[in-house]
Amino acid sequence: MTKKQAKNTDQTKLIKPSMLSAACIVPPKSVWDQIQRIRSEHDKSYNRWMPHINLLYPFVPPNCFEDAVKSLESDLTFKQLRPFNVIMQNIQYKDDAKYLNVFPQEVEQTSTTIIKVQSTLQKCFPHCSHTGGSIFSPHLTLGQFEKEEISFHSRSIQEEWIPIEFLVTEIHFLSRKSTSDPFQITKVIKLPS
């Protein structure tokens, strides 16, 4: 890495995170149908977010994505990550929560996991918080429900749910023009193979 690259990547660690960007895992469109059918009825963010697993949100501003990619790709931990399979089969919610989620699980025991991908990003961009200080719990949100109804909806969606399996090969940087606009994939970072 040149001195200029090192300076640029260090600067990305000082920039204030933006609500106009996110680092995510976006499942391939081939597995979206079931997810989107549920989200279109129950997720208030359906029109703003595509199906995704947030890794860091808020994230560095979109105009810093090039430097962020350089920072990530030069990180030694990132260089050790590999593509990995996940399966989404368990519909769950946390007590006292209104969000219904499907939780990804790694299919094989490999050295790369969603937790490791997220912790690598968190290390590279420590000023970007994933959850405001709580423990990272990878999930894909299906919808929001009243607390007294979430148990019923969780059971009924689980009964119809067909497990989704896919290979995670890349990280996606998303951006939008304003908080009311939908997110778009702006950068795709391939996991090393």
The CATH number for 69's domain is 3.90.1140.10
Which domain, by its residues, includes 90? 3-190
Please classify residue 90 by burial: count the beta carbons closer than 10 Å to its beta carbon, then call 0-12 exposed, 13-18 middle and 19+ buried: middle
Domain count, the chain: 1
Asked if residues 179 and 21 have their Cβ atoms less than 8 Å apart, the reply is: no
Tens of pLDDT along 136-187? 889 999 999 999 999 999 999 999 999 999 999 999 999 999 999 999 999 9
pTM assigned to the model: 0.90
Asked if residues 77 and 115 have their Cβ atoms less than 8 Å apart, the reply is: no
Both tokens of 21, joined, read 């960007």
Band of residue 79 on the pLDDT scale cut at 50, 70, 90? very high
Both tokens of 187, joined, read 């950068």
pLDDT (0 to 100) of residue 107: 80
